[in-house]
Structure 1
Amino acid sequence: MAPYASDDSTRPGEADDLRAGRRKAVRYVVPVTVVGIAAATIGLVPALADSGDPDLPKISAQQLIEKIAASDVQQLSGTVKITTDLGLPDLGGLESGLLAGAAGGASDGSSADPTTRLTELASGTHTLRVAADGPDRQKLSLLENAAEYSVIHNGKDVWGYDSASNEVYHSTGDAAAGADDRASGTPAPTTPKELTEEALKAVDGTTSVTVDGTVQVAGRDAYKLLVKPKQSGSTVGAVTVAVDAKTGLPLKFTLTPTGGGAAVVDAGFTKVSFAKPAASTFDFTPPKGAKVTEGDTPEAPDTAKGGAPDKAKGGAPFTEGADGFAGDLDGATVLGEGWTSVATFDTGGKGVPSGSDLPDAGGLGGFGDFMDSFGDKVKGDFGSGTVFSTRLINALVTDDGKVYVGAVTKDALVKAADTAR
């Protein structure tokens, strides 16, 4: 079926309605618990098969957004495959540790702590098993070659279990209260529903929203919602969401960069059922001999509230503090609007050391040279600095210690720094 001839952009009279629609979507129940980052056995589940173009009734972009917002799926189980390709260098696992630190992960050293363990989702391909029975019971399992990591939310208890190390992380609290605060501590969304909510935060006059035909995902008929920036300078090329035609639940989320190539984020169900999971799915007792670490506060978000709805202030996703992939940037100021907005803050120190500023590593080259290899030196009215780039998020660190970060190009970062000087 050919793509529908729906509006190719938001019209002036529809802007308020679109913003209202995405605010509802941000607040809607997310029936899958997800903790940790932005961000696992490759090959355990077949590659996601999108097939056919089912013949479905025509629907407008506004109607499809409203369908997502009105979706009321409370019970499901299934398998999600997520691939993230930010273009980060392979540092032998070091990059996951750096991301965990940036995400504000706990430092108790437990391999079962969700806030640090799920940073693995920031790169590579991973397979997740998910189950949900309303806002008080969810389970997510990260599959590995010879082990499994699970997060279980059952009433007031949140458990994390790493079978490889036989370690358990446990926290308790009022599962019905403070859910937004817990969700706001989640550094990045990982299910199609959560990723869609992030993208819908940018639906305003800077965004083109259309219905781009139909598709089948995990055996379900779905509409394709296409979200594209109108502005130049963004690293986001397009966001495509496959929305279940019956339930309105996003089944697949794909973000492609302006630079082309493979998707930066591709997350979707390979199997899904909307039947009520067995109650035993959410039962957990620490295995004999397991090391149990007690947390001070619940670390798992009650995703029934969706990620930090009170902070849904619009602007581009992937940049604005805890609402996006850039993480929680305390004291940050947002420059610009829409998809080309840039977060900036002052470290109060100097910029990135150059190769000549750091010692030689035993004849193997200076550590500064190693750092230099990851960044590009730039100059502008702001002075000089270094741009560190991924396929989606770029950051400029000036020589006087200011940082500019966003889902924008290197030139856009320099322009933002020049404007802010």
Structure 2
Amino acid sequence: MAPYASEDSESGTRRRKAVRYAVPVAVVGVAAATIGLVPALASSGDPDLPDITARQLIEKIAKSDTQQLSGTVKISTDLGLPSVGGAGGGGLMGGGEQEGGKSSADPQSKLTELATGSHTLRVAADGPDRQKLSVLDDASEYSVIHNGDDLWAYDSKSDEAYHAQSEKGSGDDAKKAPKGVPATPKELTDEILKAGGDTTSFSVDGTSQVAGRDAYRLQIKPKQAGSTVGAITVSVDAKTGTPLKFSLTPAGGGAAVVDAGFTKVDFAKPAASTFDFKPSKGTKVTEADDLKKAQRHEGAAKHENLKPEDLKADDLKAGGLDDLNVIGKGWTSVAELKLPKEAAGLAAGKGSAEMPPDAQKFLSSLGDRVKGEFGSGTVYSTRLVNVLVTEDGKAYAGAVTKDALVKAANAG
């Protein structure tokens, strides 16, 4: 449902892309998981629905073309990360003061907050040109509204707004909606059903009711050993084929790592006024084009302060997607990339001089020293994703066990 915004300035973009790459790996690390269709009849349950095979249910999802809906989504993400004090209430995802060249209403960074904690969202859609997503807090609300050529984002806490506009007739869809953490059950499901192959088993695990709607439960499990993913369960609306609930449980057991589902849903056409937005008098408005110019200027200023001998080619490329290498396939695929120079201290389980003490404690609490043919490094663990940082400045990340990471590093 969320709209997609274009990438910001070229300066610094490649490094941010590498960081954002880790988000889908961290949250659904199984985007590369492939599909093996295992027919299974739906077991009896409540509600009583006609039998359906896993293949038929997946085809039902693929054929689903829900253009209009509105509702409330509850999304919870629990990677088992300790909270970092002094983060301005934003936990690990930060918050607080914005640096130069940034806006607190910018969807590109704001929506990454959905990658941790529990959030209540209001969503609405009316075809490809009108969507709205609102993140509700106790005393504030953050909304992203896409209406035709305009994309607005508004943060009531800071009273700041962000505005992007696509050029008419340009066919530029990049500014239409914020590309960030998947925010609805369908977006999460689409991440899993992108590719095909033989590393995944599918079955129909009975029926259920979600937001008052009859639904089939599609269960997705990895066939490969070494994955930290236990199972993914998608509740699919029996009438429309729209995913209504998505739950990812870890192989180690316990509560779901990601759980997102509608608590209310209506497939009627939303009122046109739902997608109207006009900033109030006094609201600080940041234009996307102005923001990009400020970020370019900021990046140029930083480079002006560097000596020529400091600008090594490897440092300029570090963290870019050109350095990305994927080892393995399916659920046990591991991303290998070269870290930026300033991240070298992670390999020793330490932060940098600029890192707050609480953040250094956080790294220390997760770190586990390991050795192998690759040399030595530190593994940082969550309930789903493990990351190995080696002393030679490389990182290996995936929804795999520590042993699988070490094996991948040895192979890499």
| TM-score where L is the length of structure 2 | 0.75
Q: How does 1:379-390 map to 2 (within 5 A)?
A: 379-390=371-382
- Paired with 1:369 and 1:240, the residues of 2 have a C-alpha distance of 35
* Residue equivalent to 2:289: 296
Query: What do residues 106-147 of structure 1 show as CA deviations (whole Å, max 9, x unaligned)?
Result: 963321111122222111111000111000001111111112
Partner Cα separation in structure 2 for residue 276 and residue 74 of structure 1: 9
Counterpart in the other structure of 2:411: 419
In 2, Cα distance between equivalents of 1:111 and 1:358: 25
- Paired position in structure 2 for 1:252: 245
2: distance between equivalents of 1:358 and 1:198? 34
Aligned pair partner of 2:152 in 150, 154, 159 = 159
Instruction: After TM superposition, give the deviation of residue 354 of structure 1 in Å.
Output: 3.5
Render the CA deviation track for 1:227-253: whole Å, top value 9, x for unaligned. 000011101100000000110000000
CA contact (8 A) 1:202 1:338 kept: no
**4+ residue runs over 2 A deviation:** 31-39, 92-101, 105-109, 174-183, 185-188, 201-204, 296-299, 327-331, 347-359, 364-374
Structure 2 match to 1:46 = none
CA–CA separation in structure 2 for the residues paired with 1:370 and 1:210: 39
1:345 matched residue in structure 2: 337
- CA distance in 2 between counterparts of 1:126 and 1:368 reads 27
1:347 deviates by: 2.5
Name which of 104, 116, 120 aligns with 1:111. 104
* Mapping of residues 22-421 of structure 1, within 5 Å: 31=1, 33=3, 53-92=46-85, 93=87, 99=93, 108-174=101-167, 177-179=171-173, 186-201=179-194, 203-296=196-289, 329-347=321-339, 349=341, 350=344, 352=346, 354=348, 371-420=363-412
Displacement, 1:204? 2.2
C-alpha spacing 1:34/1:123, structure 2 compared with 1 (3 Å)? farther
Displacement of 1:370 in angstroms is 6.2
> Is residue 170–residue 293 contact of structure 1 (8 Å, CA) maintained in 2?
yes
Q: What CA distance in whole angstroms lies between the structure 2 residues aligned with 1:252 and 1:366?
A: 35
2:34 counterpart residue number:
none
Deviations 1:389-413 (Å, cap 9, x if unpaired)? 1111111000111110111111100
Q: Among all aligned residue pairs of Structure 1 and Structure 2, give the percentage whose two residues are the same amino acid.
A: 63
Contact 1:80 1:268 in 2 (8 A): yes
Q: CA RMSD in A?
A: 3.3
Unpaired runs of at least 5, structure 1: 1-30, 40-51, 300-326
Question: Hey, what's the Cα distance between the residues in 2 that align with 1:200 and 1:401?
Answer: 33
Assess, with a 3 A threshold, how the Cα gap between structure 1 residues 371 and 76 changes in structure 2: closer, same or farther. Answer: closer
- Contact 2:351–2:363 (CA under 8 A) maintained in structure 1: no
Structure 1 counterpart of 2:103, one-letter code: S
- The secondary structure found in structure 2 opposite 1:232 is coil
Structure 2 CA distance for partners of 1:230 and 1:367, relative to 1, 3 Å:
closer
State the one-letter code of the partner of 1:179. D
Distance 2:211 2:358 in 1: 50
Q: Distance in 1 between matches of 2:175 and 2:371?
A: 40
Q: Residues 266, 296 of structure 1: CA spacing in aligned structure 2 closer, same or farther, 3 A cutoff?
A: same
Shift of 1:87: 1.1
Alpha carbons 1:255, 1:265 under 8 Å: kept: yes
Structure 2 spans left out of the alignment, 5+ residues: 6-19, 28-44, 293-318
**Aligned 8 A contact 1:221 1:245 in 2:** yes
* 1:351 and 1:398 in contact (8 A); partners too: no
Task: Give yes or no for contact 2:4–2:174 (8 Å, CA) kept in 1.
Answer: no
- Shift in Å at residue 371 of structure 1? 3.7
| Distance change in 2, residues 1:231/1:291 (3 Å) | same
Q: For each residue in 1:51-104, what CA deviation from the matched residue of structure 2 results, as whole angstroms up to 9, or x when unmatched?
A: x72111111111111111111110000000000001112013379586579xxx
Equivalent residues of 1:358, 1:366 under 8 A apart: no
Distance 1:366 1:72 in 2: 46
Relative to 1, partners in 2 of residues 1:106 and 1:222: Cα closer, same or farther, differing over 3 Å?
farther
- Answer whether contact 2:161 2:285 (CA < 8 A) is retained: yes
Question: SS at the partner of 1:296?
Answer: helix
Provide closer, same or farther for how the CA distance between residues 348 and 288 of structure 1 changes in structure 2, counting only shifts above 3 A: closer
- Distance of aligned partners of 1:214 and 1:351 in 2 relative to their CA distance in 1, 3 Å threshold: same
Q: 1:164, CA displacement in angstroms?
A: 1.6
* CA-CA distance at 1:165 after TM superposition: 1.5
Give per-residue Cα distances to partners, 1:303-323, cap 9 Å, x unaligned: xxxxxxxxxxxxxxxxxxxxx
* Alignment partners' CA distance in 2, 1:131 and 1:88: 31
State the SS of the aligned residue for 1:263: coil
Identify if the C-alpha distance between structure 1 residues 368 and 100 changes in structure 2 by more than 3 Å, giving closer, same or farther: closer
Query: Contact between 1:78 and 1:272, CA under 8 Å: does it hold in 2?
Result: yes
SS of equivalent to 1:179: coil
Q: How many residues align?
A: 344
Relative to 1, partners in 2 of residues 1:358 and 1:116: Cα closer, same or farther, differing over 3 Å? closer
Give the aligned partner of residue 33 of structure 2: none
Is the CA contact 1:225–1:241 (under 8 Å) kept in the aligned structure 2? yes
Alpha-carbon separation, structure 2, partners of 1:181 and 1:34 = 6
Q: Is the 8 A contact 2:370 2:378 kept in 1?
A: yes
